[in-house]
Amino acid sequence: MSGRLFIVGLGPGDPSLQTPRAGEVLAQATDVVGYGPYVARVPERVGLTRHITDNREEIARARHALQLAAEGRSVAVVSSGDPGVFAMASAVFEAIESGTPDWRAIDIEVVPGVSAMFAAAARLGAPLGHDFCAISLSDNLKPWDVVLERLTAVARAGFVIALYNPISKARPWQLGAAFERLREVLGPQTPVAFARAISRPDERLLTTDLASAQPGDADMSTLVLIGSAQTRRIERRDGRSWLYTRRSLEAAS
């Protein structure tokens, strides 16, 4: 009697970066569940019910989607980018673990997507060209000390760092504190990029260095990339530049 649950990554924004599989499952869904701006990216049609919730209600949203699927509906939970990267997939499984045993019988498909970090990297060149990591700066779900410890560990170890959730009204100071900590470990010339709303009409890309990076250049739609000692800038003929990270280790210049 139970329906299906699709946990869908819509990609970074441009329809040409959304997978065909995402389109297929959205076409067969009876219900789409998610944060308003993401649900708005799913075309309206007869027979599709849209359930829009606030971005902070992830577990409640996950339970609602599971309940609908358990009632026999075909439900798509949508996220921007990839659903497994600081998005809804983890919340859904967390809801299952603590929820009714019936939910463990639901047929679930996670549809991967092009993540914000890979879309940003593609626009910049190849800054994730070697070992890299992704860290959420939100301290809603982990203590701030843990965030700082993790930043220190990966910066010292030579990883390129993608910072998700860098700033919000409720968390205005964390990104500045992260830059301060990173300046204790990495050189002032380390490349930093602010990649906002990549592939969407309001895309904005800014590259600078760690000494000059300003938290005010990030907003909730921005991914911040911090290079390693192997990250280089190449001047293009047109005056712009590419960022890339060398695949091999050599002494920092």
Give the separation between CA 84 and CA 63, rounded to whole angstroms: 17
How would you classify residue 197: left for phi > 0, otherwise alpha for psi between -120 and 50, otherwise beta? left
Q: Determine if 144 is a binding residue for its own copies (CB under 8 A).
A: no
Q: Binding to its own copies by residue 135, rule CB under 8 A?
A: yes
114, 198 Cβ separation under 8 angstroms: no
Among 40, 153, 170, 211, binds its own copies (CB under 8 A): 153
CB of 249: closest distance to its own copies in angstroms?
4
Among 1, 16, 46, 202, binds its own copies (CB under 8 A): 16
Query: Using the rule CB under 8 A, is 249 a contact of its own copies?
Result: yes
- The piece of 36-44, 107-115, 209-217, 221-229 that touches its own copies (CB under 8 A) is 107-115
Helix axes of 88-97 and 58-70: crossing angle, nearest 10 degrees? 70
Min dist CB 58 to its own copies, Å, is 8
In whole angstroms, give the CA distance from residue 51 to residue 36.
8
Q: Applying CB under 8 A, does 63 fall inside the site for its own copies?
A: no
Q: Which stretch binds its own copies (CB under 8 A): 86-94, 168-176, 177-185, 212-220?
A: 86-94
248 binding its own copies? (CB under 8 A): yes
Q: How far is the CB of 91 from its own copies (least distance, A)?
A: 7
- Asked if 105 interacts with its own copies (CB under 8 A), we say yes
Q: Is 148 in the site for its own copies (CB under 8 A)?
A: no
31 binds its own copies (CB under 8 A): no
Choice from 3, 30, 41, 94 touching its own copies (CB under 8 A) = 94
Query: Cα(172)–Cα(63) distance, rounded to whole angstroms?
Result: 30
Residue in 13, 34, 127, 166 binding its own copies, rule: CB under 8 A? 127
Q: Which helix (H) or strand (E) holds 76?
A: strand 74-79
The answer to whether 80 and 89 have CB atoms below 8 angstroms apart is no
Q: In terms of CB distance, is 124 or 218 closer to its own copies?
A: 124
Give the DSSP letter of residue 43. Answer: P
Contacts of 211 (CB under 8 A, 6+ apart): 183, 188, 189
- The angle at the Cα of 225, spanning 215 to 54, to the nearest 5 degrees, equals 70
Site membership for its own copies, residue 33 (CB under 8 A): no
